[in-house]
Amino acid sequence: MDLFELFILLMLVTITPVEAYTALLQNFRFPHTPASRGAYYIHSPEVFLHAHGLCGPGFVFESAEKPAMSGDYASISMTYRTLWEGRMHARVFSNDANMSQFLLVDDKGRECVMGQLRLRRLERGFGLRCFATRLRAASLWDILVVPPAPLTEYIESAVTAAVSRVREDVNLGAYRRMVMRPR
């Protein structure tokens, strides 16, 4: 092992959690996509978690619990699995069709990531903002393999895919109806 390889190995071993990214901010604009599709998308955690790189690769939806109402907030918990994190849980809640908050929790109950998707209706189409914050130290994999920022075209495809589903989970469908109902 030469000196350079030793230096790289030493750097990898001594990386502190503070050096990992702790926040994510993504902005998109979709002038040719109806805002109603965007509203459906931001309340579809089974699609947006993977599309925005909020979870590791190999995302597999497992189940969703029955949605609940607390005051004017609707909420739902779902379980999914990824290659890196294993089994995870997403808690999604909202009281506004144009905003969705989420909290990602590992299988041991530790809060990992919290964030928000916000839709802004435009004269034509809509704008979308995704903000997420890491709540605990990043793993070595998170530091070494940071997913690239998604392209607008990829997110627009995910928006269309969310609305075009042939089958939807009964509980996630009920949650979306609760959140998007007229007030």
Extents of the domains making up the chain: 20-180
Average pLDDT, the chain: 84
CA–CA separation, 14 vs 10, rounded Å? 6
pLDDT tens for 100-149 read 999 999 999 988 899 999 999 999 999 999 999 888 776 666 666 656 67
Under a CB-based contact definition with an 8 Å cutoff, are residues 108 and 99 in contact?
no
For the full predicted model, state whether its pTM sits above 0.85.
no
Percent of the chain with pLDDT over 90: 49
CA–CA separation, 171 vs 117, rounded Å? 20
pLDDT at residue number 181: 81
Is the pLDDT reported for residue 4 higher than 60? no
pLDDT at residue number 19: 41
pLDDT at residue number 178: 93
pLDDT tens for 66-102 read 999 998 899 999 999 988 888 999 999 999 999 999 9
20-180 folds as Naphthalene 1,2-dioxygenase Alpha Subunit; Chain A, domain 1 (3.90.380)
